[in-house]
Amino acid sequence: MKIPNTCACIFCQEFVDPPKSPNRILWEGDKFVLLPSIGSITPGYVLLMPRQHVRSFADLSSVELSTALDIAEQVRSIVSRRFGPTILAEHGPGQPGTRSAACCDHAHWHLIPCDPHQVSQVYDQTAGIPTSININELCQWKDQAYIFLSPLKHVYWVWPCSENTPSQFVRRVCANILKLEDYYDWGVFPFTENMIVTRSELGSPFHSGIVLKNVFSKSNDPQSAF
């Protein structure tokens, strides 16, 4: 018997009772879910999200953070092989009512194929010198708004959110680098065609992953997912 989900979050509702079509979930585990991002400014752009409703990855336990990073790095490796170097980023919203760069109160890590060097330069120019952390130290930031960036595996940086970090910051940065500066807003430009490419291209690699398990629709038509 399915237990109804009383959380108003659209992501929580989607994870508990995903529609048969469209169903954009690429992979799901006990604790985390992977799906193409609405507003996929480039093919291969995916979100890793906790199943439970938490505001940021900093709200997770150290064990959950380690698990999330293990999955994220596997995903980054798969995406990078197909679409090129891939960054990992988050806008941590901090406490309710505080200003942040987040546009959603359900935690999500962005994995975006984009030049890590260029992204790092913009973050440095905008936010200043980062704090270098191991992933478990992210827990120390749970009570304040932050921006998190991992341009490369084993490199994890965090900054306090400031007036210089607008909403959808990482999307703005990557859109500028990709020459799509006017199209960063996921609410206006969904880039459904790129979501379809992501779903189509990443099905087989996820099927062969050690931790990841393929949960794609049995349909052979990738457009049936959107």
Is residue 107 over pLDDT 60? Answer: yes
Q: What pLDDT shows up at residue 18?
A: 59
At residue 202 the predicted structure's pLDDT band, cuts being 50, 70 and 90, is confident
Domains of the chain: 24-212 (3.30.428.10)
Q: Cα 86 from chain centroid? A: 11
Find out whether 129 and 65 touch, Cβ atoms under 8 Å.
no
Supply the pTM of this predicted model.
0.84
**pLDDT band for position 166 (50/70/90)?**
confident
At residue 17, the pLDDT reads: 62
Mean pLDDT of 122-151: 94
Confidence band for 51, pLDDT divided at 50, 70 and 90:
confident
> From CA 153, how far away is CA 79, in angstroms rounded?
13
Say which DSSP state 136 is in.
G
What's the CA gap between 199 and 6, in Å, rounded?
29
Query: What pLDDT does residue 76 have?
Result: 97
| Residues written for the chain | 226
DSSP-derived 3-state class of residue 89:
strand
pLDDT at 1 over 50: no
CB 17 within 8 A of CB 11: no
Model pLDDT, residue 8: 57
Q: For 148-202, give the DSSP string.
A: EEESSTT--EEEE--TTS-TTHHHHHHHHHTT-GGG--TTT---HHHHHHHHHHH
Q: What is the pLDDT of residue 11?
A: 59
Instruction: Give the model's pLDDT for residue 220.
Output: 41
